[in-house]
Structure 1
Amino acid sequence: MTSQTTIDKQSQGQEPPAPGPSGLRGHPWLTLFAVAVGVMMVALDGTIVAIANPAIQADLGAGLSDVQWITNGYLLALAVALITAGKLGDRFGHRQTFLIGITGFAAASAAIGFSSSIGLVVGFRVLQGLFGALLMPAALGLLRATFPAEKLNMAIGIWGMVIGASTAGGPILGGVLVERVSWQSVFFINVPVGVLALVMGLVILKDHRAANAPRSFDIPGILLLSAAMASLVWGLIKAGESWGWGSASTWLCVLGSLALFVLFAVWETKTKEPLIPLAMFRSVPLSAGVVLMVLMAFAFMGGLFFVSFYLQGVKGMSPIDSGLHLLPLTAMMIVSSPLAGAMITKFGPRVPLVGGMVCTATAMFGMITLTPATGTLALSLWFALLGLGLAPVMVGATEVIVGNAPLELSGVAGGLQQSAMQVGGALGTAVLSSVMASKVSADFAQNWKSAGIPVPPDPRLEEAAEFGRVPEELAKAPGMTPELTAKIGDVIQDTFMSGMAMAFTVAGVVAVVAAVVAVLTKRGANADAAAGAAHI
C-alpha cells in the first residue's frame, strides 16, 4: 500500500511528504493553518480599510479622490502583480515567497500607521498590494503541493471559508477599531498577525518544487501582461470613479489593454519558457473556471458595493451595526465552505457550482425587493442565501483552476485565480456603479417633481442620491426646514433604491450566465497525473 501511494504521488509530480525532525514541517493540516493566518490578514485588509477611510480623510485633510486611491492603489497593485508573483513561487519555492509576502505586508501596514500624509498612505498601500500578491498564489501552491488529491477540495474549502469570513468580518472589526481606538489601529493590527504567520511559516511550511519547475523568467511576457492588466484595471477604476463609460480615456485604456493582451499571447507562443503557457487554456474546465471566477466576482463584489450604502445611508446604521447585519453572509460562508469542499470531493464541482450560482442569482434578484422599511429578518434571508451560493463557487472554481493546471504551474494558476477575482470585482464595481448613476440621473428629476418640492434641486443632491443619504451640510443649509429635509430625504432614498434595484438586476443576470458557464467545469485532472499514468 505504501509503495503504491508513493507511485501515485510521484505520478502527480510530487514527492511523498517527508515530515521534519519535529514532525511539524510539511504536515498538511498544520500547513493549512499556517497559510490561513496569512491569507486572513490580506483578505481582512480588503474590506476593513473601507471603514477607516472617512477617519483618514478627516485626520489627513485628504480629498475624495485621494481617499478612493487608498483602495484603488491596493487593488491595482494586487491585480497587476498576482500572476508574476505566482511565477516567482513556482521558480523559487512557494514557502519563500509566502514568507517574504507576509513580512513585507506587515511592514507596509506598520508604515501606513505611522504615515502623516495621504500620499504616504497611498504609496504604502501600493506596497501592501505587491506583497499581498506574493502571498496569495503561494498559499494555494503550498496547499496544492502538500495535500493529497482526495483531500485538496476540503483544504480549499477551509481556505475559502477563511477568506469569506475575513472579507465579510472586516467591516465589523474595522468599525470597532476606528470608533474605539484610531484609524491607525486598522493597519497596526496586521503587525502581530504577520509575526504569528511568519513564525508559524518558518516552523511548519515545507518547500515543495516540481522536478520540472521553470528555471528562467519571461521578462517581456511579464512586462506585457503587467501593462495589459494595469491598463485594464486603471480604465475600469477611472470609469467608475470619474471618467464615465462614454469617455475616450476609458475606451483608450480598455482597447489598449486588449491590444497588449494580444501582443502578450503572441509572444507567449514564441518564447521558450512562457509566463503563462497558453496550452493551459486548452483545458475547457480551467478556462471555464477562470471565466466563472470573473463573473462571480462581478456579481458579488459589484452587488455588495451598494449594500453598505443601503445599510448606512438608507437605513441609517452605524458602521458596526451595518457590519453586524452582514453576519448571516459571513456565518453561511463559514459553515458552507467546508461542506462545499466535501460535496465537490464526492460529486465533482459541476453540480455545486451551478447550484451556487443559482443561489447567488436568486439572492441578487431577491435584493431588488429591498425597501427603506425592510426588516432584519428579510435582510438576513437574502444575505444568508448569498453566502450559501458563494461558498461552493469560491471553493469549486479555485479547485477547477488550480487542480487542472500542472503542478509546476500551481503558482501561476493561483495567481490566475486571484487575478480573475480582482478583475471581476473591479469590472463589477465599475459597471454597476455606471448602471446606478445612469438610473439615478434618469429618475431624480421626475422624483423631485413628483414630491412637489417648490425649490430647484441643488446639483449636489443628485450625486447624494447615489449614496442614499442627504449630506449634513445641505440638511443644515439656510431655509431648510425639517419638513423640507424629510421630503428631500425621501426623494434621495427613492432614487437610490431604484438605482440599486437596477444594479442588482444586472448582477443577477450575470450570475445566471455564470451558472451556465459552470456546466463546463469538471474535477481537476492535472497534466502531471495524466503523464504519470501513461508510464505506469
Structure 2
Amino acid sequence: MSQTTAKTTAEKRDTAPPTKSGGLRGHPWLTLLTVAVGVMMVALDGTIVAIANPAIAKDLGASLADIQWVTNGYLLALAVFLITAGKIGDRFGHRNTFLVGAVGFAASSAAIGFAGSIQLIIAFRVLQGLFGALLQPAALGLLRGAFPAERLNMAIGIWGGVIGASTAAGPIVGGLLVEHVSWESVFFINIPVGLIALALGLWILRDARSEKAAKSFDIPGIVLLSGAMFLLVWGIIKAPVWGWGDARTLAFMGGAVVAGVAFAFWQTRAAEPLIPLGLFRSVSLSAGALLMVLMAFSFFGAVFFVTFYLQNVHGMSPVDSGVHLLPMTAMMIVGSPIAGALMAKIGPRIPIVAGMLFTAAAMFGMSTLEAGSGSGVMSLWFVLMGLGLSPVMVGATEVIVGNAPLELSGVAGGLQQAAMQVGGSLGTAVLGALMAAKVDDVLPGKWAAAKLPPVSGAQYEGLKQAVQVGTAPVPKGTPAPVAQLIAGVSHDAFVSGMSLAFMVSAVVALVAAGLGLLTRRGSVDTGPGVHI
C-alpha cells in the first residue's frame, strides 16, 4: 500500500461513520444522556456549595479566608488542569477519562462530607476540582465523536440546557438540604449521581479516540501551561484583596505572561505539543475562545452581584433568591436546545451575534435597577439575559470544539472550559474592583446628605466593606428612623456600584457581539455515530 493510500485510509478511520450495530453502545442520544448526568454533577456543585458555606463556617469555626479557600481551591484546580485533562482524554480515550472523572468526583464529594476539619475539606475540594476537570472536556470529546457535524449543535444545545438546569437547581436544592438535612448532604448528593454516571458510562459509552492522537505527553508544556494558568487565576483571585496595582498582583500577572510566552515558544519546538499552535490558525476557533472569555466576564461577573442584591438589599432567603433567578435559568434551559436546532439550519454566526446583543440589552436594563425595583422588572431582564446567553453558550462551544480535529477534541473542550473559568474569574474580580471604587466614591456624599453621624478610620472601612455586598450595617439599639436612613444610604450606594458593573458588562457584551461575526460552523466532520 502506498504512503498516500495509507494516509487516506487513516483519515477515513478518523472521520468515516462506524458501522451500525444492534447494541446501545455508542448510541449518540444515549451518549448525550450519559455525559449530561456526569456534567450535571459538576454544574450543580458550582452553585450548591455556595449555599452551604455559611453552615460550614459555623459548624467548623472556619474563618472567612478558610471559606474562600473552599471555593478558590476548587476553582484553581479546575482552571489549571482543564486543558491537560483534555489532552489525557485525547491520549487515553474520552470514555475512560470520563469514567475516572465521575468516580473521582463522587468519591471526593463523599470525602468532603465525612471530613471533620476545614483543612480536609479544602484539600478534598482541590481533589474534586481535578476530577471535575477530567469530566468536562471528556464529555465534549465524547459528543464530538458521537454526533455528525450537522447534529453537533443540537447535542451541545441539550448539554447546555442540562448545565443551565443544574446551575439553577443549585441554590434551591442547596438551601433545602442545608435547612432540612445538613451541610454534608450537599456533597453526599453527588454519590448517587456519580454512580448513575458510572453505570451508564460502562453500558453506553464507546471510546472516542483518533488514531492521530499523540502517543506521548508534552511534560514541559504541561508544566508551563499549568504554571501560567495558576499564576493568572491566583493573581485574579487575590487582586481585589491586594489591589490591582500592588507589587504582588503585578508579580503574579507578569509571571503568568512570562510562563505563557515560554509555553507558546516551547509548543513550536515540542515533537508532540500539548496545544499545537496551528489550532489557532482557525479564525473561528480563536474567536470562539475569546468570545467565551468575554461572555463569561460579562455574565458571571455581573450576576455575582445579583445574589447580594436579592438577599441583602431585598432581604430574600437563599431559596427565594434562587427562585427569583428561575426566569433567567428557565430561558437558558429552554433556549439552549432551540439555539442548537437553529444553528444546525443557519450556522452559529447570526444566533451568537443576536444573543450577545440581547445580553447587552439585558445588562443595560439591569443597570437601571433601583433598591426598590419590583420582581416584575427584574424578571423581564432575567428572561432577556437567559434568551441571550443560550445561543452564545451553545454556539461558542460548538465553534471551538467543532473546528478542532477529532484528535484534539479533548484539548478543545478543555480550552472552552478554561476560557470560561478565566473569563468568569476575571469578570468577578474586575467588576468587583469597579464596584468597590464606586461605593467608595458615592458613600460619603450620600451619608452626609442623609445627615447621619460622621464616621472615619476603621469605622468607615467596616461600613464600606459591608455596603459593597449590599449589607446595611445598623448597630444594635439604633432608633428605627436612623436605621431606615442607614439602610437606605447603604442600599443606594450598593446599587450605584452594581449599576456601574452592569454597564461595563453591557459594553463587554457589545464587543463580544462584534467578535461573533468572525465565527462559523465547524468545518471538520466529526464522524457520525450510530442509530441517528
TM score, norm. by length of structure 2: 0.95
Report if aligned partners of 2:145, 2:526 keep a CA contact under 8 Å in 1. no
Q: Distance in 1 between matches of 2:454 and 2:226?
A: 51
Segments ≥4 residues shifted beyond 3 Å: 7-12, 17-21
Aligned residue runs from structure 1 range 496-515, under 5 A: 496-515=494-513
Counterpart secondary structure, 2:15: coil
Q: Secondary structure at the match of 2:268?
A: helix
How far off its partner does 1:377 sit? 1.1
Check whether the contact 2:149–2:524 (CA below 8 A) recurs between aligned residues.
no
2:176 corresponds to: 176
Equivalent runs, 1:135-284 vs 2, <5 Å: 135-240=135-240, 242-284=241-283
Per the TM alignment, residue 170 of structure 1 is displaced from its structure 2 partner at its CA by 1.1
Query: How far apart in 2 are the matches of 1:306 and 1:144?
Result: 35
Q: Does 1:399 find its partner at 2:398? A: yes
Find the aligned partners of 1:20 and 1:258 in 2 and give their Cα distance.
50
Give the 3-state SS of the residue equivalent to 1:523 in structure 2. Answer: coil
CA deviation after TM superposition for structure 1 residue 29, in Å: 0.3
- Structure 2, unmatched stretches of 5+, are 1-7, 528-532
Preserved CA contact (<8 Å) 2:15 2:525: no
Determine if contact 1:17/1:26 at 8 Å carries over to the other structure.
Answer: no
Q: 1:157 to 1:9 in 2, by over 3 A?
A: farther
C-alpha separation between the residues in 1 aligned to 2:105 and 2:75? 14
Q: Which aligned pairs between 1:366-445 and structure 2 lie closer than 5 A?
A: 366-445=365-444
Contact residue 87 and residue 411 of structure 2 kept, 8 A: yes
Which amino acid in the other structure matches residue 184 of structure 2? Q
1:325 aligns with 2:319: no
Q: For residues 474-524 of structure 1, give each alpha carbon's deviation from its aligned partner in whole angstroms, at most 9, with x where no partner exists.
A: 532xx5222222111111101100000011111111001000110110111
Question: Where does the alignment leave 5 or more consecutive residues of structure 1 unmatched?
Answer: 1-6, 530-536
The 3 A distance-change label for structure 1 pair 296 and 9 is: farther
Task: State the number of aligned residues.
Answer: 517
Deviation at 1:150?
Answer: 1.4
Which residue of the partner structure matches residue 469 of structure 2?
A: 467
Shift of 1:470: 2.3
Alpha-carbon distance in 2 for matches of 1:210, 1:139: 15
Q: CA deviation at 1:439?
A: 0.5
Q: State the partner residue of 1:40.
A: 40
- Cα distance per residue 1:74-132 (max 9 Å; x no partner): 11100000000000000000000000000000000001111111111111111110000
Contact 1:111/1:124 (8 A) holds in 2: yes
Look up the equivalent residue of 1:331 and give its one-letter code: A
Deviations 1:295-341 (A, max 9, x none): 00000000010000000000000000000000101110111101100
State the Cα distance separating 1:12 from its structure 2 match. 8.0
For 1:465 and 1:430, how far apart are their aligned partners in 2? 17
Contact 2:313 2:491 in 1 (8 A): yes
Structure 2 equivalent of residue 74 of structure 1: 74
Deviation at 1:166, TM superposition (A): 1.2
Q: In the TM superposition, what is the alpha-carbon distance from 1:17 to its structure 2 partner? A: 3.4
Greater shift, 460-469 or 312-321, is seen at 460-469
Q: Deviations over 1:225-251 (max 9, x none)?
A: 0000000000000013x1121211111
SS of the residue corresponding to residue 316 of structure 1 reads coil
What is the rounded CA distance, in whole Å, between the counterparts of 2:440 and 2:92 in structure 1?
52
Give the distance between the partners of 2:110 and 2:19, measured in 1 at CA. 37
The secondary structure found in structure 1 opposite 2:367 is: helix
Q: Distance in 2 between matches of 1:294 and 1:388?
A: 19
Residue identity in the other structure for 2:17: P
For residues 220 and 317 of structure 1, the distance between their equivalents in structure 2, rounded to whole angstroms, comes to: 50
Q: Distance in 1 between the 2:453 and 2:247 partners?
A: 38
Q: Residue 296 of structure 2 aligns with which residue?
A: 297
Query: Partner residue of 2:484?
Result: 486
Q: Distance in 2 between matches of 1:84 and 1:456?
A: 51
Asked if structure 2 preserves the Cα contact closer than 8 Å seen for 1:355 and 1:515, the reply is yes
Q: Which residue of 2 aligns with 1:534?
A: none
1:3 paired residue number = none
Q: Give the CA deviation at 1:452.
A: 0.3
- Give 1:14 shift: 3.1
Helix, strand or coil at the partner of 1:62? coil
**8 Å CA contact 1:25, 1:205 repeated in 2:** yes
The answer to which structure, 1 or 2, has the higher relative contact order (CA under 8 A, 6+ apart) is 2
By how many angstroms is 1:18 displaced?
A: 4.6
Letter of the 2:478 counterpart: M
- Residue 447 of structure 2 corresponds to 448
In structure 2, how many angstroms separate the alpha carbons of the residues matched to 1:433 and 1:455? 26
| Cα separation, 2, equivalents of 1:209 and 1:362 | 42
Distance in 1 between residues matched to 2:438 and 2:184, nearest whole Å? 37
Cα distance in 1, alignment partners of residues 482 and 104 from structure 2: 52
The range that moved more, 10-19 or 88-97, is 10-19
Shift of 1:8: 12
Tell me, in whole angstroms, the C-alpha distance in 1 between the residues paired with 2:9 and 2:479.
77
Residue 526 of structure 1 deviates from its aligned partner by 2.3
| CA displacement at 1:15 relative to structure 2 | 4.7
Q: Give CA deviations for 1:434-491 in whole Å, capped at 9, x if unaligned.
A: 00000011111111101101342633111111011224xx532xx5222222111111
C-alpha offsets along residues 264-293 of structure 1, whole Å, 9 cap, x if unaligned? 000000011000000000100000000000
State the one-letter code of the partner of 1:304: V
Q: Distance in 2 between matches of 1:193 and 1:207?
A: 21
Residue pair 1:19, 1:27 contacting (<8 A) in 2 also: no
8 Å Cα contact 2:339-2:391 kept in structure 1: yes
Task: Provide closer, same or farther for how the CA distance between residues 310 and 152 of structure 1 changes in structure 2, counting only shifts above 3 A.
Answer: same
1:16 aligns with 2:13: no
Question: Is the counterpart of residue 58 in structure 1 residue 58 in structure 2?
Answer: yes
- 1:330-341 aligned at under 5 Å gives the runs 330-341=329-340
Structure 2: distance between partners of 1:484 and 1:508: 36
**CA displacement, residues 138-186 of structure 1 (integer Å, 9 cap, x when unaligned):** 0000000011111111000001111122122211111111111111111
2:224–2:263 Cα contact (<8 Å) kept: yes
Contact 2:94 2:208 in 1 (8 A): yes
- Out of 519, 522, 536, which is 2:520 matched to? 522
Task: Tell me the amino acid that sits aligned with residue 373 of structure 1.
Answer: G
How far, CA to CA, are the matches of 1:454 and 1:425 in structure 2? 39
Partner of 1:421, secondary structure, is helix
Distance 2:57 2:508 in 1: 34
Aligned CA distance change for structure 1 residues 185 and 528 (closer, same or farther; 3 Å): closer
- Counterpart Cα distance in 2 of 1:208 and 1:517: 31
Pairwise CA distance, 1:197: 0.6
Q: Secondary structure at the match of 1:272?
A: coil
- Quick one: structure 1 residues 512 and 258, their matched pair in 2 at CA, closer, same or farther if it must change by over 3 Å? same
Identical aligned pairs, as a percentage?
65
Q: Considering only aligned residues, what root-mean-square deviation do their CA atoms show, in Å?
A: 1.6
Contact 1:157 1:339 in 2 (8 A): yes
TM-score with structure 1 setting the length: 0.94
Distance 1:124 1:251, change over 3 A: same
